[in-house]
């Protein structure tokens, strides 16, 4: 069976033109006919998002009826976190808060949904890791512990914004350092296959980097993937096809 998935940091609906338009983003992705979408940086009822429920809007216009959101922080009178949209009913949903090393650091998380695809159970993780390397490494280890309790007969996909190579240097200011390997990726590779994409997925001013990716269990086969350049966010979506 063929599973079509997309991971996308939607930047609370904001495109490079500064316009917040979730409908535009959902309509753009709809043409790829995804079964699953992993979302990061999604708002619910915040002032900057015009007090809207963005996961509902995205679900409506991309025509994926089942949805869940993990709220990691309260923000501007609302909530902020990760989401998963699905063509298939959600059997189970849980949001895990990721480790932090300082109280002033932004709380991140891993949203997990279990869905039934035919007779196969898929465990889907939408992740948005920290802008601090030490916290990303702790998060990778935590993901290994969480997934170690999942039956080997089930399938696992972990997708999202891993922020590898990123370091926060000021308010909304980040520095990227490219490395031959990233420890957080190497930790996850102990159990999972890595998509190993290398095209830029994030653009910021004059900088760009490949910081969005996907890991998946060995009982899945990744047939193809494609990074999709667009101006509907400061991140590019990644389209993936799996044999399940």
Tens-digit pLDDT profile for residues 51-110 = 999 999 999 999 999 999 999 999 889 999 999 999 999 999 999 999 999 999 999 999
CA distances from 124 to 33, 172, 242 (A): 18, 29, 13
Mean pLDDT over the full length of the chain: 95
Strands 212-216 and 2-9 turn out to be unpaired
Burial class (CB in 10 A: 0-12, 13-18, 19+), 215: buried
Dihedral sign for Cα 221, 209, 47, 80, please: positive
pLDDT of residue 170: 73
For residues 140, 144, 145, 147, the Cα torsion angle rounded to the nearest 10 degrees is: 130
pLDDT higher than 90, residue 173: no
Domain that holds residue 196: 2-243
Tell me, yes or no, if the pTM score tops 0.95: yes
The domain total for the chain is 1
| Average pLDDT over every residue of 191-203 | 96
What CATH number is attached to the domain comprising 32?
A: 3.60.10.10
C-alpha span between 153 and 148 (Å, rounded):
12
Greatest extent of the chain over all pairs of C-alpha atoms, in Å: 48
Query: Among 6-15, 31-40, 79-88, 175-184, where is mean pLDDT lowest?
Result: 175-184
- Label residues 9-46 b or e (16+ Cβ within 10 Å = b): bbbbbbbeeeebebebbbebbeebebbbbbbbbbbbeb
C-alpha span between 188 and 200 (Å, rounded):
21
Strand partners, 126: 111, 159
Query: How many Å from the N-terminal Cα to the C-terminal Cα in the chain?
Result: 5
| Average pLDDT over every residue of 113-141 | 97
pLDDT higher than 80, residue 135: yes
pLDDT higher than 70, residue 206: no
Q: Taking a C-beta distance cutoff of 8 angstroms, is the pair 95, 81 a contact?
A: yes
């Amino acid at each position: 069976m063929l599973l079509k998935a997309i991971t996308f940091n939607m930047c609370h609906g904001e495109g490079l033109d500064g316009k917040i338009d979730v409908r535009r983003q959902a309509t753009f992705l709809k043409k790829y006919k995804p079964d699953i979408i992993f979302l990061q940086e999604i708002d619910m009822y915040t002032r900057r998002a015009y007090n809207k429920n963005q996961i509902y809007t995205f679900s409506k216009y991309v025509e994926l009826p089942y949805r869940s959101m993990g709220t990691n922080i309260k923000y501007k009178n609302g909530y902020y976190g990760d989401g998963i949209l699905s063509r298939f009913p959600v059997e189970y949903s849980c949001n895990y808060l990721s480790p932090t090393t300082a109280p002033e650091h932004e709380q991140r998380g891993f949203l997990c949904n279990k869905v039934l695809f035919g007779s196969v159970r898929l465990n889907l993780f939408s992740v948005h890791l920290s802008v601090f390397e030490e916290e990303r490494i702790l998060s990778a280890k935590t993901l290994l512990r969480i997934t170690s309790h999942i039956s080997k007969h089930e399938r696992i996909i972990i997708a999202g914004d891993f922020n590898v190579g990123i370091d926060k240097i000021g308010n909304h200011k980040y520095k990227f350092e490219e490395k031959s390997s990233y420890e957080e990726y190497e930790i996850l590779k102990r159990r999972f296959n890595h998509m190993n994409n290398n095209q830029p997925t994030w653009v910021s001013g004059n900088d760009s980097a490949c910081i969005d990716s996907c890991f998946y269990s060995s009982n899945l086969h990744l047939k193809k993937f494609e990074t999709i350049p667009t101006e509907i966010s400061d991140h590019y979506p990644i389209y993936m096809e799996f044999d399940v």
